[in-house]
């Protein structure tokens, strides 16, 4: 985000609060980049550090250090660990963490009273909301809703578990608030948060249980596109034990979508998201070719000389639709023009009418198109 994207009012307010937004922006970006690096780290876990931190967590809830069990991936955890919903340690630790997080978040409020009674935070609401959006919001979107979501979907449900490096969203947020806004909290909470920060830099997911703690390694490779899990050739995440997750632009997909997408498999697939990803992977044109569909209509593309609009019937998936296949107005890097598919209502028989519909125009109106870039 560029500083000049802030409204004039926000800039004025933030100056009044003692923060120069332009300075804050680069600092915030630096902290965020640091936390993204932790979240996407692919080195083997720092086992001794992780074990020391987790032992200290056990000490905080009055338990002796547990036995440690290391697994190669989040899917390798034993079934009895994953389903131990009523485990005392799991519950007590979750409660303790929730309580601390609650306090930390209360302290963050601009009208909160951290530190000495009566002393107000020196953190104006604008700078706060800025850190909230750029650090907490971004990390939550990228890490929690992006990476954790696809890995958890593949690994399956589990009773209380924590995410180590992938707890970066809330841990990194509190870290950013302390470093950039000078938020203060009690020494006990500070210590608790430091432990979380250290753990986020050392290991993957973990399952605290009575007497035993299972900890997973970090993935050994992660592929993304615009920070979303994505790989067009192979798994997006691969763990040291060989377990892997396939993802297409942030959506978890079965391996065939990436490795061997065919029209037959696409037509048989019930899940529309999976179908969309597979079609994106092979392209509408290849899909239609492969499926042996014939065009129900074709016409010259107005404003796009030498190019054709093609209209196809789609298999009756969810809503009856037709597909309009059009050609981009500008060339790709390799000199070709990309074809793209648009779903249109099934009652449109004329490709020009269909293209017109996509812009809310009538066929004769769209036929007047002078240029497409």
**Would you say 158 or 321 has its CB closer to another protein?**
321
Using CA atoms, how far apart are residues 101 and 150, in angstroms rounded to an integer?
25
111 binds another protein (CB under 8 A): no
- Considering the complex, what minimum distance in angstroms separates the CB of residue 372 from another protein? 5
365 binds another protein (CB under 8 A): yes
- Closest CA relative to residue 147, chosen from 215, 232, 205: 205
**Would you say 80 or 332 has its CB closer to another protein?**
332
End-to-end CA, the chain: 28
Using CA atoms, how far apart are residues 310 and 323, in angstroms rounded to an integer?
8
Per CB under 8 A, contacts with another protein among 311-330 are 317-319, 321, 328-330
Stretch that binds another protein, among 156-164, 165-173, 289-297, 335-343 (CB under 8 A): 335-343
7 binds another protein (CB under 8 A): no
- Considering the complex, what minimum distance in angstroms separates the CB of residue 154 from another protein? 23
Per-residue contact flags (x/-) with another protein for residues 204 to 243, judged by CB under 8 A? ----------------------x-----------------
360 binds another protein (CB under 8 A): yes
Per-residue contact flags (x/-) with another protein for residues 279 to 318, judged by CB under 8 A? ------------------------x-------------xx
- Residue 267 burial (CB count, 10 A): 14
Could you write out the DSSP letters of every residue in 39-69? HT--SPP-HHHHHHHHHHHHHHTT-PPPEEE
343 binds another protein (CB under 8 A): yes
**Tokens matching residue 106:** 């209360």
Residues 6+ apart with CB under 8 A from 96: 60, 61
Residues 6+ apart with CB under 8 A from 303: 329, 369, 370, 371, 372
Matching residue, tokens 């432990």: 195
337 binds another protein (CB under 8 A): no
Count of residues interacting with another protein (CB under 8 A): 31
Stretch that binds another protein, among 71-79, 96-104, 283-291, 362-370 (CB under 8 A): 362-370
Q: Are the CB atoms for 350 and 295 separated by under 8 Å?
A: no
Q: Which residues of the shown chain bind another protein in the complex (CB under 8 A)? A: 226, 272, 303, 317-319, 321, 328-333, 340, 342-345, 357-361, 365-366, 368-373
């Amino acid at each position: 985000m560029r500083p000049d994207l802030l409204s004039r009012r926000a800039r004025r307010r933030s100056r009044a609060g003692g923060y120069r937004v332009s300075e804050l922006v680069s600092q915030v970006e630096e902290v965020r980049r640091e936390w993204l690096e932790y979240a996407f780290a692919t080195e083997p876990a720092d086992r001794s550090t992780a074990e020391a931190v987790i032992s200290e967590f056990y000490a905080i809830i009055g338990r002796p250090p547990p036995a440690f069990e290391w697994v190669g991936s989040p899917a390798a955890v034993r079934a009895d660990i994953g389903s131990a919903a009523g485990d005392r340690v799991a519950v007590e630790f979750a409660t303790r963490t929730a309580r601390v997080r609650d306090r930390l978040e209360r302290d963050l409020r601009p009208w909160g009273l951290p530190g000495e009674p009566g002393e107000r935070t020196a953190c104006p609401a604008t700078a706060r909301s800025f850190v909230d959006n750029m650090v907490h919001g971004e990390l939550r979107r990228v890490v929690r809703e992006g990476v954790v979501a696809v890995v958890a979907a593949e690994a399956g449900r589990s009773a209380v578990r924590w995410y180590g490096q992938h707890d970066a969203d809330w841990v990194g947020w509190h870290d950013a608030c302390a470093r950039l806004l000078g938020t203060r909290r009690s020494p006990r909470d500070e210590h608790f948060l430091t432990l979380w920060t250290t753990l986020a830099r050392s290991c993957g997911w973990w399952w605290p249980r009575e007497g035993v703690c299972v900890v997973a390694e970090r993935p050994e490779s992660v592929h993304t596109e615009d920070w979303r899990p994505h790989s067009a050739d192979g798994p997006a995440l691969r763990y040291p034990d060989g377990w892997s997750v396939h993802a297409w632009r942030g959506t978890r997909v079965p391996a065939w979508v990436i490795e061997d997408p065919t029209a037959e498999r696409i037509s048989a697939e019930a899940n529309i998201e999976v179908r969309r990803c597979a079609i994106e992977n092979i392209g509408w044109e290849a899909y239609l070719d492969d499926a042996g569909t014939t065009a129900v209509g074709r016409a010259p593309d107005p404003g796009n000389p030498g190019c054709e609009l093609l209209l196809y019937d789609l298999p009756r998936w969810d809503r009856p639709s037709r597909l309009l296949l059009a050609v981009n107005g500008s060339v790709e890097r390799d000199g070709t023009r990309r074809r793209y598919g648009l779903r249109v209502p099934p009652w449109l028989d004329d490709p020009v009418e269909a293209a017109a519909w996509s812009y809310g125009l009538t066929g004769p109106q769209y036929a007047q198109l002078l240029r497409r870039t």
